[in-house]
Amino acid sequence: MPTEFLSPGLQFGLEHTTLTGWVICGILALLSAYAWAVMLGKHFLLSRAHKAGLSFLRAFRESVHPLELFQRGLHHERTPLDLVYHDAAREMAWYLVGEEDASGASFAARLQGAGRITPSQMSAVQTVMERSVAQAALRLEANMGGVATVLAATPFLGVLGTVWGITDAFGQLSAAGNEQGLVALAPGVSSALLTTIAGLLVAIPSLIGYNWMVGRIRGMIVRLDNFAAELSGALDRAFVDHRFTAEPLPSMASFGAPSMPAFSQAPSSPLPSPAASRA
C-alpha cells in the first residue's frame, strides 16, 4: 500500500496496526461503499425522474383535456408523476364511463358523452392521488434509512477501535520495563487513533452526501404534491358537477298521523259518596 503521500503519524499507525484495527477499518470500508452505492443510485434515479417529469408536465399541460394522455396510452415511466396521473385517471374513468381501460375503441365516444361526477366521487379520486403520492414517496426514500444507520454507526465503530487499541497498548505498557514504557505505548496508541480517523473519514463525506440527497428527495415529493393539487383542480373543473340541488324537506303531513299505543284499563269502582264516608 503506497504511504508516501501520508503524514508520518499515519504511516507509523498503518505500520503498527493490529488485526482488530484492520477488521474495524474493513467494516468501515464496507459501510462506506454501501452508503455511497445507495446515494449514487438515488442521484441517477432522481436525475432521470426530473428530466422525465419535465417532459410529462409539458405534455400534460398541452393536452386538450385532463384525460387525454390516459386516453392515448402515453406513459413517462421514469417519473413518479406518471404513476400519480394514471392512478387518478383510472379512478376518474371508472366514475365517468364505468371502466378503467382506455384501450377500447368506444372509450373516446363514451367519454365524450359522459356526464359529470359528484363532489363525493371526486373525493374518492383525490384519495387515490394521495395514496399514489405516498407510494411514490416510499419508493424515493427506500434504503435511505440504511444510509442513516451507517452515518450513526461509523463514528462509534471508530471510537470502539480506539478504545480497544489503547487498552491493548496499556496492556503492553504494563508488561514492558520502565525504560521501554513509551516505546511500547506509542505503536498501540497510534494504531488505535487510526480507527477514529477512518470512522470520521467515512462519516463526514457520507453525512454531506446524505443531507444533499434528502433535500433532493424532499423536493421531488413537494413537486408530487403540487402536481396532485394541479391535477385535482383540472379534473374538478372538467368533470365535477358542483350545482347545488336543494331538496325540500317533507311536510309533517306526509309522515301520517302518529300511532299511539292503546292501553287497556280495568273498570274502576265508583268513589264513595260524602254521606257514606261520614257514616
| Per-residue pLDDT tens digits for 181-224 | 556 666 667 777 778 888 888 889 999 999 999 999 999 999 99
Q: What is the largest CA-CA distance in the chain?
A: 138
pLDDT at 269 over 60: no
- In eight-state DSSP terms, residue 16 is T
Instruction: Work out the average pLDDT over 120-146.
Output: 92
Instruction: Work out the average pLDDT over 63-74.
Output: 86
Q: What is the total count of domains within the chain? A: 1
Beta strands, E only, 214-279? none
pLDDT at 279 over 70: no
- In eight-state DSSP terms, residue 1 is -
2 within domain boundaries: no
Three-state SS at 267: coil
251 within domain boundaries: no
Instruction: Work out the average pLDDT over 11-33.
Output: 77
Predicted pLDDT of residue 263: 47
pLDDT above 70 as % of the chain: 73
9 within domain boundaries: no
246 within domain boundaries: no
Q: How far apart are CA 164 and CA 193, in angstroms?
A: 10
Instruction: Work out the average pLDDT over 68-81.
Output: 87
Predicted pLDDT of residue 23: 86
Sign of CA dihedral 29, 148, 196, 3: positive
268 within domain boundaries: no
Angle at 244 between CA 240 and CA 248, to 5 degrees: 145
Q: How far apart are CA 138 and CA 157, in angstroms?
A: 29
Q: What is the pLDDT of residues 173-187, one digit of tens each?
A: 665 555 555 566 666
> How much is the pTM?
0.73
CA distances from 146 to 119, 143, 212 (A): 42, 5, 16
| Cell numbers representing residue 262 in the block | 292503546
55 within domain boundaries: yes
277 within domain boundaries: no
Q: What is the pLDDT of residues 53-67, one digit of tens each?
A: 999 999 999 988 888
269 within domain boundaries: no
Residue, of 96 and 268, whose pLDDT is higher: 96
Q: Can you give the residue range of the structural domain that contains 155?
A: 14-239
pLDDT at 228 over 90: yes
Three-state SS at 261: coil
